Structure 1
Amino acid sequence: MLEPLTERYLEHLRVERRAAAQTLDSYRHDLEALCALAREAGTALEDMQLAQMRRFAAALHAGGRGPRSIARALSAWRGLYKWLGREGLVAFNPVDGVRAPKAARPLPKALSVEQSVQLAEHRTEQDDPALDARDHCIVELLYGCGLRIGELVALDARASAAARGWIDLDAAEAHVLGKGEKRRSVPIGRAALAALREWLARRPEFVREDPAPLFLGRHGTRLGAQQLRRRLRERALKAGLPTHVHPHMLRHSFASHLLQSSGDLRAVQELLGHAHLSTTQVYTRLDWQHLAKVYDAAHPRARKKPEPDAG
């Protein structure tokens, strides 16, 4: 149940701010929660203090509301007190300084080593051999070099003044232009190098007016990101993978598998082109997840079932 002040505030949002019906419903729900908490505390809305608002936010958390839901409620409450301040009904905003608990940062989705190898080694017999060679090369570069999709599609077959990225076969390196227009060089492994040579032997069949792009479509134009995503998704299905595979998943797989093998976070940061180490540290959580699964599956104490209650 809303207090008269909150009803006036909702009317202000509806008439003067022209808030959408869905927004008004959301605000009503959050303001009803505030009014209920205020009644339990025996305090009028106009007399609320910072400490009470912090306790109210904690009560929402204890009641099972998640960080995003609490942040939304605090935003509604903060808006109410901002309006009350403009109306001269409160001297300060008691919600200022109250923060919702941090939402858990979701782990990036990565393939297992076995799934990555299964996808990389899959060859499509029904497809055009040239297209199969191209798509096989794309998979090997995404997984073998950890490239972003934008970096991959921008690659040219050779270096030039206009090239945003290019392949150096002799040095076995991919030179790319990443986020923030920062250049980096990434080593190309043996499998990716073999796939590149196979595709380059087929590539002249696709060249039309512009010979620069490394990856070309059937009409001789640079392969686009959407085309690449679709081809990769179809290839993963044909390879029998039980999950939706997208280019960034192969980048995540590259990073997590490299970190599992080497433990060198700084090197993984450089190869991915991350400006800050904190961005790369998410893969240490993936690594821990992998270790936890190994422990649960292999350690005798982890697998031991609890003894039945003798009582």
Structure 2
Amino acid sequence: MAAAQPSTERPELPASVHAWLDHLRVERRLAPRTLDTYAIDLTSLAAVLPVALDAVAEHHLRSALARLHAGGMTPRSLARLLSVARGFYRWRMLSGARADNPAQGLRAPKAPKRLPKALAVDATAGLLDAAQAAVQAVQTADPQQDEPKQQALRLRDAAMFELLYSSGLRLAELIGLDVIASDTAAGWVDAQAAEVHVTGKGGKRRMVPVGGKALDALRAWLPARVLLAHAQCTALFVGARGERIAQGTVRLALKQLAQMSQLGQHVHPHMLRHSFASHVLQSSGDLRAVQELMGHASIAATQVYTQLDFQHLAKVYDAAHPRAKKPGEK
């Protein structure tokens, strides 16, 4: 089943919420999927409130969170909902519509810490080698047996996944790349400088190095892109219809590649970003550098990868140390 796409219509919400979401879209350039998530969270909250969102007090929110928790909402989802509410009421205060933020003093129940899922180095190499094998097949294929557009799609997929892993991009950052640099572009690849310029969360710009294999894959893709892209399309990566590629298309292509490479596990685009961070940290041990490369606002968001690194070391220890085995193990 294809991944659900962001909705084009927002739920029934007060005009103030629509104004806030429009503010986030224009001023902070948040992705449509993120804005839809915010709207859904505020709709869920409004459904259990005894008053309108604009008239909420702290005790209303506290009771609403308790009801949602009792109804099965997870601590992680509650924390996200509360963060969205806190942002909405902070904006209302800044605009002079409220004197207080009723969500400011509230905290969601603690959720168990969940580590990001990253691929092992060998598994990542196997996945990307499968994409490169498809590229090699394209270059030697009989044109009568392999349609040019299918060839172009294989080259596109190889370039996308090499770039995701090479530079640790978010999916939205990858999709937002344009084929050439401009004042209006959310991002682009500077092949001569071997770096990619992206606009991350909160509209923050950063530059990340691009590896040699990713650059090679991009050079192979660019001539083939002409077969797919509409004349007016500025996107670096396009779908079969010639327009900027959709998130669901990227997810499906990666899923199919994982199956083709016989990886034996589900892979999603963000796993390549997690793998990038984990592997660079394992090799360098430079947490601050990884924070900059990932575009994390806080070092705490990057520190989670140190736990993945420790898990990797623990496995090596268990396998190699002569006195690490538990009693009864051989």
Between the aligned partners of 1:291 and 1:217, the Cα distance in structure 2 is 41
Corresponding residue for residue 169 of structure 2: 147
Between the aligned partners of 2:305 and 2:315, the Cα distance in structure 1 is 15
Between the aligned partners of 1:156 and 1:25, the Cα distance in structure 2 is 42
Cα 1:292–1:224 change in 2 (3 A) is: same
Q: Kindly indicate whether the alpha-carbon contact (under 8 Å) linking 2:233 and 2:244 is maintained by their aligned counterparts in 1.
A: no
Between the aligned partners of 1:205 and 1:186, the Cα distance in structure 2 is 28
CA deviations 1:97-134 (Å, max 9, x no partner) are 9x998443110000000110001111335972211110
1:273 to 283, 286, 295: 295
Corresponding residue for residue 105 of structure 1: 113
Q: Kindly indicate whether the alpha-carbon contact (under 8 Å) linking 1:210 and 1:220 is maintained by their aligned counterparts in 2.
A: no
Give, in angstroms, the shift of residue 161 of structure 1: 1.8
Give, in angstroms, the shift of residue 26 of structure 1: 5.0
Corresponding residue for residue 50 of structure 1: none
Establish whether residue 283 from structure 1 lines up as the match of residue 301 from structure 2: no
Between the aligned partners of 1:100 and 1:271, the Cα distance in structure 2 is 30
Unaligned segments of structure 1, at least 5 residues: 1-15, 28-66, 72-96
Corresponding residue for residue 134 of structure 1: 156
Aligned-partner residue type, residue 152 of structure 1: L
- Name the SS for the 1:281 alignment partner: helix
CA RMSD of aligned residues (A): 3.1
TM-score (norm 1): 0.66
Q: Kindly indicate whether the alpha-carbon contact (under 8 Å) linking 1:210 and 1:221 is maintained by their aligned counterparts in 2.
A: no
Corresponding residue for residue 258 of structure 2: 236
Q: Kindly indicate whether the alpha-carbon contact (under 8 Å) linking 1:151 and 1:165 is maintained by their aligned counterparts in 2.
A: yes
Corresponding residue for residue 178 of structure 2: 156
Cα 1:298–1:218 change in 2 (3 A) is: same
Between the aligned partners of 1:137 and 1:285, the Cα distance in structure 2 is 30
Between the aligned partners of 1:101 and 1:156, the Cα distance in structure 2 is 41
Between the aligned partners of 2:212 and 2:258, the Cα distance in structure 1 is 22
Corresponding residue for residue 201 of structure 1: 223
Corresponding residue for residue 184 of structure 1: 206
Residue identity over aligned pairs, in percent, reads 54
TM-score (norm 2): 0.62
Cα 1:205–1:297 change in 2 (3 A) is: same
2:128 to 120, 133, 143: 120
Give, in angstroms, the shift of residue 226 of structure 1: 1.0
Q: Kindly indicate whether the alpha-carbon contact (under 8 Å) linking 2:157 and 2:253 is maintained by their aligned counterparts in 1.
A: yes
Between the aligned partners of 1:292 and 1:280, the Cα distance in structure 2 is 20
Give, in angstroms, the shift of residue 211 of structure 1: 3.5
Q: How many residues align?
A: 225
Moved over 6 A (4+): none
Between the aligned partners of 2:109 and 2:70, the Cα distance in structure 1 is 20
CA deviations 1:175-231 (Å, max 9, x no partner) are 000001000001000111111111112111112132411001121100011111111
- Name the SS for the 1:300 alignment partner: coil
Cα 1:101–1:175 change in 2 (3 A) is: closer
- Name the SS for the 1:151 alignment partner: helix
Corresponding residue for residue 263 of structure 1: 285
CA deviations 1:139-176 (Å, max 9, x no partner) are 10111110000000000111012101011111111100
